[in-house]
Structure formats: structure tokens, C-alpha cells
């Protein structure tokens, strides 16, 4: 009888722990939950081409994201550097609305400083990377360019 109770209690604890992991935090009004496929190096993540099942996340290919999150999750992602992964997390809305004209692979031409010269400035889409609060990740097929 006692053994049955112990087994039942362990089973109930396992089920409740699994269901607690499936529950996602609510998304704040000023943020959006996105899933982005790409490659990581340290705390930086570079968005790769979108897969057909990914849909429109709004994160353009070549964009650099600065990953924040639990140390264990970030370290697990770091272990898989060189392999493609998909990260899921929260990004503030409007954070990656970029000015200028895209040239490809994250390069944009935008208006330069108003020094009177009226020139243009070539850049990599701004000086501050977009921040993503990583909630989870998974490995996907493919390798990252070296």
C-alpha cells in the first residue's frame, strides 16, 4: 500500500512538472514572441533564411540578435555553435524596424547625419543589436557558415 502511494505521488509530481514546462509566460503588450532559425556565436545570434513552416516572424535574414536568458539555456545553445538552431523568445515590438534601403545580408543604406553635406551613410543596420529574451531553443538540420 505504501509503495503504491509513493509511486502515485512520484507520477503526479512528474506530470505536474511536465505541464508546468509547457505553460509559456504571457507576452507583454510591448513585446512579441518569435522563433528565429540561424546560428549563434557566444551571446550573438544571426538570423538565417526562414523555413517554409516558420512563416513571417518579421526578423530579416542576417539580423544580429543579442541573446539574454537563463545561463543554462544560453550555455546549451553555445555548445551547438557551428550547427543551425532555432531560438524562441521575446523581442520588444518595433525594435528591429530599420530605416533605409536594404542591400542584402543585413547591410542597409540610410540617411546620414545632417552635417549639411546631404550624403548617405553605409552601415550594418544600426549600432545596437536587437535584444531577445530566449525562452527555449531546438537544433535544426544544417550547418552554419564559417
Please, what sign has the CA dihedral across residues 137, 138, 141, 145?
positive
> Distance between CA 100 and CA 80 in Å, rounded?
34
Q: Thinking of the domain 26-143, which architecture would CATH place it in?
A: Beta Barrel (2.40)
Residue 131 has pLDDT above 80, yes or no: yes
Q: What is the pLDDT of residues 12-51, one digit of tens each?
A: 554 444 434 445 678 889 999 999 999 999 999 999 987 6
Burial class (CB in 10 A: 0-12, 13-18, 19+), 20: exposed
Q: What is the pLDDT of residues 96-113, one digit of tens each?
A: 655 666 666 556 676 665
Global pTM reads 0.63
Q: What is the pLDDT of residues 52-75, one digit of tens each?
A: 665 556 788 888 999 999 999 999
Whether 91 contacts 36, CB under 8 Å: no
Can you give the residue ranges of every domain in the chain?
Answer: 26-143
pLDDT at residue 94 in the model = 75
Whether 114 contacts 48, CB under 8 Å: no
Q: How many CA atoms lie within 13 A of 114 on its CB side?
A: 0
Amino acid at each position: 500500500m505504501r509503495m503504491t502511494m509513493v509511486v502515485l505521488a512520484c507520477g503526479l509530481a512528474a506530470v505536474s512538472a511536465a505541464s508546468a514546462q509547457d505553460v509559456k509566460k504571457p507576452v507583454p503588450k510591448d513585446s512579441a514572441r518569435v522563433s528565429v532559425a540561424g546560428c549563434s556565436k557566444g551571446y550573438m545570434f544571426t538570423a538565417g533564411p526562414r523555413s517554409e513552416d516558420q512563416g513571417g516572424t518579421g526578423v530579416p535574414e542576417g539580423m544580429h540578435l543579442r541573446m539574454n536568458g537563463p545561463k543554462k539555456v544560453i550555455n546549451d545553445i553555445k555548445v551547438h555553435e557551428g550547427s543551425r538552431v532555432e531560438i524562441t523568445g521575446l523581442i520588444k515590438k518595433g525594435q528591429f524596424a530599420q530605416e533605409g534601403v536594404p542591400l542584402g545580408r543585413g547591410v542597409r543604406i540610410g540617411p546620414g547625419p545632417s552635417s549639411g553635406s546631404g550624403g548617405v551613410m553605409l552601415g550594418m543596420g544600426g549600432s545596437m543589436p536587437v535584444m531577445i529574451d530566449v525562452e527555449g531553443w531546438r537544433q535544426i538540420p544544417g550547418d552554419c557558415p564559417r
